[in-house]
Structure 1
């Protein structure tokens, strides 16, 4: 059984960080000093579980009045293609609505643009590099 939840304690936050480290640092070669940033202390983190195993992570933070930014969304490789990313995004969007956010922005890795488009996000920028990986800015009105 898969579930996604808002991180409520340091143990769950560590689970989210473990997933991020595996995906972004281990698989994609993002340096640790870039993966962990000043927003990790203030963002609302999410972790996805398969039974008790952490398999997905993400975070949301308010960047301006009524606008949030979805960041660090990732799913462990063994669990991709099983709608875990959709569950993560649904939970983060529901949280954003309950927090009074009307718009969500994100910087999608270019290969993931079709995934986010299926969820109603639209591309708002030309391709740019972030941590050595091609990205596109995207946005959705909630």
Structure 2
């Protein structure tokens, strides 16, 4: 059974880092020192599972009052196309609403802009490079 949840234990946190390592470091060649950063200690992490196997990850931070910043959203390649990105975003947006945050920002890899637009995010920047990968800043009010 596939599910997603807020990380509540060190094991779940390591599971989220496992997925990020597979997607960002191994698949997309992001240097590990950029992928695992100083915000991992304070961010709220989320993980998706297929039974016990970690298959998705993401995190939220509050860089400014009332604003959620969604980051590091990823799904293992063999699970893409099954709407798991929607599941992850729903969990993270629900958390943001419950925490009283009013807006969600993210930096989407340019290929994923259409995915986020379907979730009602709007582009707020020209294209820029992050870790050598084209991105667009996006935002929506919740």
Shift of residue 63 of structure 1?
A: 1.1
Q: Which deviations, in whole Å up to 9, do the C-alpha atoms of 1:95-115 show, x marking residues without a partner?
A: 000011000000000000000
Q: Which residue of 1 aligns with 2:53?
A: 53
Residue 4 (structure 1) aligned with residue 4 (structure 2):
yes
The SS at the match of 1:39 is helix
CA distance in 2, matches of 1:94, 1:2: 18
Q: Which residue of 1 aligns with 2:138?
A: 138
Deviation at 1:51, TM superposition (A): 1.0
TM-score w.r.t. structure 1 length?
0.99
1:74 deviates by 0.1
Gaps of 5+ in 1: none
TM-score normalised over the length of structure 2 = 0.99
The aligned runs of 1:65-104 (5 Å cut-off) are: 65-104=65-104
1:128 is matched with 128
5+ residue gaps, structure 2, are none
Q: Distance in 2 between matches of 1:19 and 1:81?
A: 16
Q: Deviations over 1:37-83 (max 9, x none)?
A: 10000000000001111000000011111101000000000000001
Match of 1:16 in 2: 16
CA distance in 1, matches of 2:84, 2:36: 23
RMSD: 0.4
